[in-house]
Structure 1
Amino acid sequence: MYLAELSYKVVADTSFSRAEATIRLYTEALIFNGNVLGREFPTAWQQDRFSSRLVIPTENALHRSHLSTRALQAEQQLMAAGLAYPKLQVLGMDIMSQHSSNSAAEALVLFTTFSDNCSPLRNLADLAPLPLYQFQPASGVDHESLIRWQIQFQALDEVQQQQKRVLKKSAENSLQQYQSVLNQQGRQLAGRISRRNQLPVYYALYSGSSKNCAAEASKPCPGCGGSWRLDTPLLALFDFKCDNCHLLSNIAWECQTP
């Protein structure tokens, strides 16, 4: 990942509120297409321009050929609001972020955690994130539906990680129950992305706790009921893999030997 700065020079009469609204619209379009990572974009006024700090997945993530129709339309609104086309300066690699996969992707996995600031679409070869703009979205002109799913997943994951959980088991149940609304949405998104990109896309089903640790290692696939235990954990993380259901999971964390 890279830290970058986008500057918007004022070239015609405008106002702070109008400039802020159009910059926000443009940046959100970049976020929903995977050109920009995260949801915060500090923006400062600097004499004759506005400057925003952003994290991007690759150095060329903001090349016009990678932009969605929505982003290109938002770019035109910048001009209408008295701002020039944004000027990009890549400041360097972001040492606080995960870096995009350099391996060829023959299969993908939909996987995210509360601490991630990266694409939820990972390369199954190394679990490194892949820029979303490189793939056809599940639906529409960009990946908004996938990003909104990720936001909900990460929020619930952060809640269930707390020692004093105000929602008790509700958050964890949404994350690990196969038929939860969250996981149904995630599996549907994975399936649509798979079909549109002609690549297998696995869904990582979280497993944190279990009612029966003795039977945890031999539990069947929740999708088809078949055997899916791997002889050796995949990527040192996934103990289960079902090629029929395109599902990955782990032995519940509380049942694993330290």
Structure 2
Amino acid sequence: MYLAELTYKVIADTDFSRAEKAIRQFHEALIFNGNVIGREFPTAWQQDSFCCRLVIPTTDALQRANISPRARQAEQQLVAAGLAYPQLKVLGMDIMSQHNSNSMADALVLFTTFSDMCSPLRNLADLAPLPLYQLQPAAGQDHETLIRWQIQFQALDEIQQQEQRVLRKAAENSLQQLNSSLNQQGRKLAKNLARQNKLPVYYALYSGSSKNCTTEADKPCPGCGENWRLTTPLLEIFDFKCDRCSLLSNIAWECQPP
């Protein structure tokens, strides 16, 4: 990931409200296409321009060839609001972010956690994220549905990770149960992404707690009921893999040795 700066020069009469709305809509379009990472971008007024700092997955992520039709439409709203097209300056590699995979992807996994600031689509070879703008969306002209799923997943994951947990079981059930609304949506996205990109896309099913740690390691695939235990954990995280159901999972964290 890279830290970048976008500068919006004022070229006609405007006001803070119009400028803020146009800049926000443009940023949202970039978020939902995977051109930028995160959801909060500090923006400063600098006499004759607005300056914003953000994180991008690659140095060429904001080239016009890589942005969506929705982002191009939002660019026109910038002009209507009295702003020039943004000028990009890449400041350097962001040392606080996860970095993209450098390996060829033969298969992907839909995997995220509450602390991630990256694409939820990972290369199954190394679990490193892949820039969404380089991939075909599950549906529509961008990845908005996928990003909104990630936001919900991360919110529930953060709730059930807290020491003083509120609604812990409700959050954990949404993450763990194969047929929860959250996981049904995620599995559908993975299936559509596989079809659109002509690559296998596995869904990472979270497992935090278990009713019986004695039998946890031998639990069958929740999709087809078959044996899916791996001899060696995949990527040192996933103990289970079902090619039929395109599922990955782990032995419940509370059942693993300290």
* CA–CA separation in structure 1 for the residues paired with 2:130 and 2:195: 17
* CA–CA separation in structure 1 for the residues paired with 2:62 and 2:172: 36
What is the TM-score normalised by the length of structure 2? 0.99
Q: What displacement does 1:102 show?
A: 0.7
Q: Which residue of 1 aligns with 2:194?
A: 194
* CA–CA separation in structure 2 for the residues paired with 1:213 and 1:64: 52
Q: Which residue of 2 aligns with 1:130?
A: 130
Question: Are the equivalent residues in 1 in contact too, given 2:159–2:168 (CA < 8 A)?
Answer: no
1:28-43 paired onto structure 2 within 5 Å: 28-43=28-43
After superposition, the C-alpha distances for 1:183-237 in whole angstroms (9 at most, x for unaligned) are 0000000000000110000000000000010110010000111110000000000
Question: What is the aligned-residue identity percentage?
Answer: 78
Q: Which residue of 2 aligns with 1:94?
A: 94
> RMSD between aligned alpha carbons?
0.5
Question: Are the equivalent residues in 1 in contact too, given 2:191–2:201 (CA < 8 A)?
Answer: yes
* CA–CA separation in structure 2 for the residues paired with 1:61 and 1:14: 28
1:249 correspondence with 2:249: yes
Q: What displacement does 1:257 show?
A: 1.0
Question: Are the equivalent residues in 1 in contact too, given 2:9–2:49 (CA < 8 A)?
Answer: yes
Q: Which residue of 1 aligns with 2:165?
A: 165
Q: Which residue of 1 aligns with 2:234?
A: 234
Q: Indicate the SS of the match to 1:70.
A: helix
Question: Are the equivalent residues in 1 in contact too, given 2:32–2:144 (CA < 8 A)?
Answer: yes
Q: Indicate the SS of the match to 2:215.
A: helix
Q: What displacement does 1:163 show?
A: 1.3
1:20 correspondence with 2:25: no
Q: Which residue of 1 aligns with 2:103?
A: 103
Q: Which residue of 2 aligns with 1:9?
A: 9
* CA–CA separation in structure 2 for the residues paired with 1:15 and 1:92: 32
* CA–CA separation in structure 2 for the residues paired with 1:221 and 1:78: 50
Q: What displacement does 1:80 show?
A: 1.1
Structure 2 gaps of 5+ residues are none
Q: What displacement does 1:168 show?
A: 2.9
1:64-75 paired onto structure 2 within 5 Å: 64-75=64-75
After superposition, the C-alpha distances for 1:5-52 in whole angstroms (9 at most, x for unaligned) are 000000011111000000000000000000000000110000110011
Partner AA of 1:141 in structure 2: Q
